[in-house]
Amino acid sequence: MLKVEDINVYYGAIHALQGVSLEVLEGEIVTLIGANGAGKSTLLKTLSGLLKPKTGDIKFLGKSIAGQSATSIVMQGLIHCPEGRRVFANMTVEENLELGAYLRKDHQEIKKDMEGVYERFPRLLERKKQQSGTLSGGEQQMLAIGRALMSRPKLLLLDEPSMGLAPLLVQDIFRTVEEINKQGTTVLLVEQNANQALKIAHRAYVLETGNIVLSGNAAELSQSEEIKAAYLGGH
């Protein structure tokens, strides 16, 4: 579904991604783990058209999307749920969800998808007329995921969905990611909680200072001594 071929991305003089290649197959959850500043968010921003690679190619569903506008990439079904939730604080929950569907014209289907989001996250239904800025962190994360689902993603890029959430909510969010995947959405997950991410992913890549240093089956990687020491708190 997604094939990233040897991309190089710069922030000014900083070489943020250095010859990164990876692939995501249809139906998978692939996780990208790595320390802060490794380039994980940069990679997602490049895939969704917010940053342009200097060299290399990105193929989505067999077509090159490198250098295309973010709007064009969204229209093809590659949807980015950004780090830090980024809900529109002065708009209601319902208005945020409507914005997720702003490129769609199929009004009946939009209505059905909205009901689907409320079914998945009943708390959002209770608060649908509430300003999003007044929601808790966990509720804002549900809203950010719900808004992304309103775009009908073929591939969902999720950036740090568990960041800053209470442990109990973290479980909920990972369960939600699994459910979304089981219902047919392919997921590329960036996550600092490597332990949880490796539990739900099929495959994983490890990014260090802009380079992919390891990749493989998620369950196997979670048993690797190297990964345990670096990302799983040594146990």
Distance, CA of 65 to CA of 59 (rounded, Å): 6
The DSSP letter of residue 160 is -
Domain boundaries, the chain: 2-231
Q: Which pLDDT value is given to residue 235?
A: 46
Residue whose structure tokens are 């689902």: 149
Give the CA radius of gyration of the chain.
17
Residues of the chain scoring pLDDT < 50: 235
Domain at 2-231, CATH homologous superfamily: P-loop containing nucleotide triphosphate hydrolases (3.40.50.300)
Reported as a single tens digit per residue, the pLDDT across 137-168 is 889 999 999 999 999 999 999 999 998 888 88
Q: Which pLDDT value is given to residue 84?
A: 79
Q: Which pLDDT value is given to residue 234?
A: 55
Q: Which pLDDT value is given to residue 232?
A: 79
Q: Please list the residues that pair with 63 across neighbouring strands.
A: 60
Q: Which pLDDT value is given to residue 174?
A: 95
Task: Retrieve residue 176's tokens.
Answer: 């939600």
Q: Which pLDDT value is given to residue 204?
A: 97
